[in-house]
Amino acid sequence: MKTARIGGGGIAGMAAAGALAAEGWDVHVYESRTAITDEGGAIVLFENMHRALERLGALDGAIANGDPKTRFSYRDHANRPHVASNANPMGGRYVYASRHEVHRALMDAAVSRGVTVHLGTRAVAADPDGSLTLDSGAEVRGDLVVAADGVGSALRDHDTIRPTVAWLGHYGIRVGIDAELSVAQPGEFWELWNGPLRLGFGRLGGRKSAAYLSAPIDGFTADASSMDVDVWLRSFPDQREVVEAIAEQVPSVAPFSKVTCDRWQAGRLAVIGDAAHGMPPHRGQGAAMAVLDAVHLGAVLGREGVRFGGTGLQSGSDVSRALEAWESEVRPIVDRTQRVAVSFCRMQDSWPQAAINARPWAFRRLIRRRALDLSLLPPVAA
């Protein structure tokens, strides 16, 4: 049986663990946190994420308390709709789900396939020879080692991966709210834009709601440690309930970045999720792309004959060739998605005020752009 060592047990790491275990691998995940606790907030699951979660056997758990959205209201500074629709403008399924429950469902699916999760275990280095060094100094070895340790990854630093992290000067907050927001009915999804500020919210199941906001530094204190509540109340006076509900949580602020790497693989090392291609969350695709990487990684390694003891993947160079194939198949989809996410971010924070009335038109064009098919999973050639 082949062994995989995964550094980082976030959404990407847990998804990869489940995908590899389904192909017959012995998988160990090393996660630095001591527990998988509620990270707060919700994420949107589009059609691509639904299909990927279905393949991993994690869809039911992920959406058990989610709210399927059927009415969409994206509005501009003058409260005019960019998009007001009774159908998902991007096509396919659209569920607003607790991020924690998505993460938990992926972990449960992986564990039910025999994956071992080592909580409270930080990895400090990953090597293309298949070794993962833990902070205890111990070195564990595998036929495959996966760096899934997020935007600030320590495990991807290798001279052939060559990562670049570009901070976008844009920040965000995402929170879960333990109440039913009166401004959003079940099934409704709201996103409001005013100048460079953006506020989104909707119900979850179980009498809960969730909300997010993002902006350049204008929407936050000068040190970017918290939101500037007055700015948000002035910009969205009709949404006092939502702004105050967010502020009440004293949420932490996430700086957005764009991560690019020359390569996502070297030898027996694969880099996945935000560690490989972190992106601003403007198309709700960061987690979806992380899961896409993972599902496709399992599929390609499976295709190469591992599970059935075929002739593939007998040596390090076989693994390396399989990882090259994986990157070349999945990367075009992820790169395109990342480009569109950054364009959305710039459309929000850098749109000239003099042309503000043209922004809804540009928004509609970008949201419906055929180049970004949110139902797509990479096909696995035989």
Ligand X SMILES: Cc1cc2nc3c(=O)[nH]c(=O)nc-3n(C[C@H](O)[C@H](O)[C@H](O)COP(=O)(O)OP(=O)(O)OC[C@H]3O[C@@H](n4cnc5c(N)ncnc54)[C@H](O)[C@@H]3O)c2cc1C
Residue numbers at the binding site for ligand X (CB under 6 A): 7-13, 30-33, 43-44, 122-123, 148-150, 154, 172, 174, 212, 254, 273-275, 281, 284-288, 290
Minimal distance, residue 14 CB to ligand X, in Å? 8
- What letter represents residue 348's amino acid? Q
Minimal distance, residue 382 CB to ligand X, in Å? 29
Length of the chain: 382
Residue nearer to ligand X on the CB measure, 153 or 239: 153
List of long-range contacts for 314-321, beta carbons under 8 Å, 24+ apart:
316/129, 316/130, 316/267, 316/268, 319/143, 319/144, 319/267, 319/268, 320/265, 320/266, 320/267, 320/268
Residue nearer to ligand X on the CB measure, 43 or 297: 43
Minimal distance, residue 15 CB to ligand X, in Å? 8
Residue nearer to ligand X on the CB measure, 32 or 348: 32
Cα dist from 239 to 44, 185, 246, 260, whole Å:
21, 14, 11, 36
Residue nearer to ligand X on the CB measure, 96 or 363: 96
Residue nearer to ligand X on the CB measure, 11 or 177: 11
Minimal distance, residue 277 CB to ligand X, in Å? 9
Minimal distance, residue 33 CB to ligand X, in Å? 5
Give 249's contacts (C-beta < 8 A, 6+ positions apart). 40, 175, 177
Nearest CA-CA partner of 163 in 271, 255, 262: 262
Full 3-state SS string of 3-49:
EEEEECCCHHHHHHHHHHHHCCCEEEEEECCCCCCCCCCEEEECHHH
Residue nearer to ligand X on the CB measure, 6 or 306: 6
- With beta carbons less than 8 A apart as the criterion, state whether 257 and 167 touch: yes
Phi, psi values for residue 320, rounded to 5°: -60, -45
Q: Compute the distance between CA of residue 230 and CA of residue 264 in angstroms, rounded to an integer.
A: 42
Minimal distance, residue 312 CB to ligand X, in Å? 27
Cα within 13 Å of Cα(190), Cβ side: 24
Residue 143 DSSP class: S
Residue nearer to ligand X on the CB measure, 176 or 281: 281
Residue nearer to ligand X on the CB measure, 28 or 113: 28
Kindly give the residue spans of alpha helices, DSSP state H, lying in 34-180. Answer: 47-56, 59-63, 99-112
Residue 148 structure tokens: 């899934």
Minimal distance, residue 295 CB to ligand X, in Å? 14
Minimal distance, residue 355 CB to ligand X, in Å? 27
Minimal distance, residue 327 CB to ligand X, in Å? 16
Q: Compute the distance between CA of residue 258 and CA of residue 278 in angstroms, rounded to an integer.
A: 5
Residue nearer to ligand X on the CB measure, 13 or 302: 13
Q: Compute the distance between CA of residue 106 and CA of residue 58 in angstroms, rounded to an integer.
A: 6
